[in-house]
A = this chain, B = another copy of it.
Amino acid sequence: MTTDAAILNALRQFPGAGVSGAALSAQLGISRAAIWARIEELRRLGYEIDASPHSGYRLIAVPDALHGDDLLTRLRQPRVVGREIHVFRETTSTNDVVERMARDGLAEGVVVFAESQTRGRGRLSRRWVSSAGKGLWLSVLLRPRLQPLGATRITIAAATSLVRAVRRVVGLETEIKWPNDVLVRGRKIAGILTELAAEVDSIKHLVLGMGVNANQSASDFPAELKGLATSLRLEAGAAVDRPALAAAILEELELDYSRICDGRFDEVAAEWEQGCSTLGRPVRIQVGDRIVQGRAEALDPEGALLVRTHHGNLERVLGGDVTVLK
């Protein structure tokens, strides 16, 4: 843990009382002057830290900006997801950054956030609008011991994690639209992009990307997304605490990823089925050149969608563009 992370960690442990410079100095093994200098730096980053001779340092408020050290101290002992967190002011696409990290051999669990993306993308290289400082754009490096087919499970887990994190931090109920969107009242607030490098029978690494529309106002969305996209702020009627939501997403993902690794994907799938607005509905799915039409019935054990066609056959669909029919 870095010094900044250790200081924030200590301040969070005594939210009311405060911690003296002497105590921090002893705990971290650095001089009181060094503590003072780091506190000044944190203040410059937007952290409001009160200092008084009686109660010592107290954390009053944190900035809305994402800060890797700050996020680290919010997580409860991550085993995998968020062991290492990097925040970029701007990048092409967080999935691209993590892909390079993966090829450089980094261990799974590293997370990259970007405050803005110049080439954010969704499925099939579609453009994803990423307005600076308004949303959450993050990618997680995972190395699950799964066959390529099993990658669908990770998308499913990301969706259930997003639903729980939004419920916990924002207090909003969201719905999952198969395969990779999270909606509020039919409009998109989050998307998931799972990319993998693999041999025929095993995943080498997987990059899980998520984009969450947090604090956008209506004018932040381009005209062509009107009616299709929305933000948590617009739906909840209040600004979202982005760092808190970011930390919650990583915590929930940690839970679901450990379920998958422990062979308990059925628990994730059951939760997903409860939160999914696609199931039970008549759907038309464009899969490449092909159209699958029928009733979305369930997930199969690998995370594929089972669609009952008009002929009564059960078709297994891994991905595609879904339209829910009236």
Contact = CB atoms under 8 A, between A and B. Distances in A.
Nearest to A288: B145
Interface in A279-314: 287-288
A224 interface: no
Interface stretch (A10-18, A28-36, A72-80, A190-198): A190-198
A31 B256 CA distance: 70
A148 interface: yes
Contacts of A148: 148-149, 151, 196, 198
Nearest to A154: B200
B200 A151 contact: yes
A196 B195 contact: no
Interface string A147-187: 11101100100000000000000000000000110000000
A194 B202 contact: no
B194 A196 contact: no
Nearest to A317: B201
Contacts of A262: none
* Copies of chain A in the complex: 2
Interface string A125-160: 000000000000000000001011101100100000
A104 interface: no
Interface residues on A, range: 20 to 34
Contacts of A145: 288
A319 interface: yes
Contact of A194 (B194, B200, B287): B200
Contacts of A201: 152, 179, 287, 317-320
Contacts of A202: 124, 288, 319
Contact of A199 (B149, B195, B199, B287): B195
Given A148-B149, A149-B148, A199 B319 contact: yes
A123 interface: yes
Contacts of A179: 200-201
Contacts of A151: 148, 198, 200
A149 B319 CA distance: 13
Given A147-B318, A318-B147, A198 B199 contact: no
A199 B121 CA distance: 12
Given A148-B148, A151-B198, 20 more contacts: A123-B199, A124-B202, A147-B318, A148-B149, A148-B151, A148-B196, A149-B149, A151-B200, A152-B200, A155-B200, A179-B201, A180-B200, A194-B199, A194-B200, A195-B197, A195-B198, A198-B198, A200-B318, A200-B319, A202-B288
Interface of A: 123-124, 145, 147-149, 151-152, 155, 179-180, 193-202, 204, 287-288, 317-320
6 contacts: A123-B199, A152-B201, A179-B200, A196-B200, A200-B319, A201-B319
